[in-house]
Structure 1
Amino acid sequence: MSKNLQRDVPPFRADVVGSLLRPQAIKLARQQFQHGSITAAQLRSVEDQEITRVVALQRELGLQVVTDGEFRRAWWHFDFFEGLDGVSAYDAEQGIQFNGIQTKARSIKVTGKMAFNHHPMLEDFRFLNSIAGDAVAKMTIPSPSVMHFRGGRAAIDADVYPDLAEYFADLAQVWHDAIAAFYAAGCRYLQLDDTVWAYLCSTEQQRQIRERGEDPGQLAKIYAEVLNQALVGKPDDMVISLHVCRGNFRSTWISEGGYEPVAPILFGQVNVDAFFLEYDTERAGGFEPLRFIKPGHQQAVLGLITSKNGELEEADAVVTRLQEATRYIALDQLCLSPQCGFASTEEGNSLSEQQQWDKLRLVVDVSKRAW
């Protein structure tokens, strides 16, 4: 492969998706806070210490990007949604169904006009940014597509939004305002996490979507438009990526199917700077859909290193797969990362912290060889 193709702006050749396994100190402090034996300030102090520790570890591995591991969250998405105006959390009748396992019963519904105001995650980012040193601090939030798809029409108060066109307009505005607020807080690298595009690739998920009265093809067009409206006016020095995966809870998954059904819209029309794409198993299909990513600045960050188990991939095999992808997209438009975070929820995946760090070290090592 060619050399001297390292990047000094995000996404980096060796990048990360975001979440990290929760250390025991975090788990214990959360339990103590829930039982009322420590205060919110004491919990935050423990979180600060553990985030500082893992930021240093990420830097020691040679990463140019750092995250807070999502240590202050229980979920990759609900914690963000619950901080929006007009959104209420509730205990659902059942959890989200993964392959052979369900999550805790939690969900959200829209009960008022949606808006982004004084979100607590802005302060979370400011802390991360303050300790990032010469690395780039990366913030992760869910995509607006997930906000709608999780409950659909049934989760949106019809008195508040009798017309879904108004709902989608507000949805785009909320994320537009979120992007502006994180930028003002110093964020220059924001990732939108999105499982919905992968669901739209799944025959089984498409069937379920039709059963609830919606058209998968029409949803893809709506979600692309919402994303693009949210990105209007994005500052030139801010990188926004979209991470697409097929579900990640305790090392299980929800959907399967290659990107081909959505590739013309997702890769051909959505104006993000980079796509983080799950590619660790056959469930994600081949690299052919990457041909829809236009030549230019957009990057495809290939998730060839699985976060679902601790078995370490062979570096030569990862390099070979990167070479295979260059049949459809230029090497200069490719980067490497794990396929997902290591703990999309606080429960975490089935591997040890050491195995997690070994995976990230492999990403760095392979990137040095490949580029």
Structure 2
Amino acid sequence: MGELKTNRLIDKLGEADTFLSKYRHYRRVDKKKAWKAFCLRVEANPPKRINWQIVFRYAAILLLPISIVAICLMLLADPVEQKISESLAAVGPGTSQAILVLSDGNEISLDSTVTNRLAVGGTAVAAVTGSHISYQANSQATSMQYNTLLTKQGGEYRIVLEDGTKVHLNAASQLRYPVVFTNKERVVHLQGEAYFEVAPDKARPFYVVTDHMKIRQYGTAFNVNAYPGSSTEVVLVRGSIGVTVGDKERTLAPGQLAKIHAGSKLLSIKEVDTESYVAWNEGRFFFDNQSLRDIANVLSRWYNIEIQFARGDIQYLHFTGSLDRYDTIEPIIQPLAGRRMSR
């Protein structure tokens, strides 16, 4: 999209000050009180036909659609500063692509077109089939050999470790792991984000080590988000895990989030709706009252684009919504233009 066309789109969306004013009005609404009033009204006067005008009035209070995110994405950067060389319609999602670093330092590029069988260490081989790589042990390990799987922005990859553990590695992440685990424990190192489905093994606990915490469990499913410079989060979907910070371990139950804020060593645990944390593993983005800054970071990594904020206050707005992770970025923007953008 050319600079002139982008400017016309921004003009059509309105001024940033107007949007911020409306957003601040929305934030002042007591959503719980509004929902309670709505329920009481329906119970007191059960309608024969649904009054959609009333429903939409309260729905607007309770849910801010993902399309509003698009308003900010268009207002957050000047067209000259937003360095995207092609039109939004051509900005495609990430794909299955990664770099496999072997124990001897050799690198192998992996993508959806690669199908091969690789020698990945003296005691293991790996089968590469398009979107994932699967390890198999030839014999018991006599010495530890490590591989590293790296994804860049705009990439993701799946791996089945030697013990049967499944890992989905998100964009701009890396996982370091032994090609064959020892008979005492299973330890992997993560930077970035990954979803784990750990193979049960009572004799060998499984550990995920990040820069700020160590996660221990014996067979479960959980998501770890540990991008450098950001908060470290682990969300438990099922099973049980222990999270260690320093020398103290805390136990998590399903539906709980453990978090260490960036620049802090304090661990907090709370109940959450796990969907917004793990939806990416199932092909969707689900933003639950997240700041535009965090949303922009997610979109930047996945679509491999650069988003710059021309106004710093916009990045602190919060939004809720859902969209298809494997679609182009255009559907986030398109509904706001009131017409189909030309390609």
TM-score scaled by structure 1? 0.28
Q: As a proportion of its length, which structure holds more helix? A: 1
Q: Which has the higher contact order (CA 8 A, sep 6+)?
A: 1
TM-score scaled by structure 2? 0.29
Q: Which has the greater radius of gyration?
A: 2
Q: As a proportion of its length, which structure holds more strand? A: 2
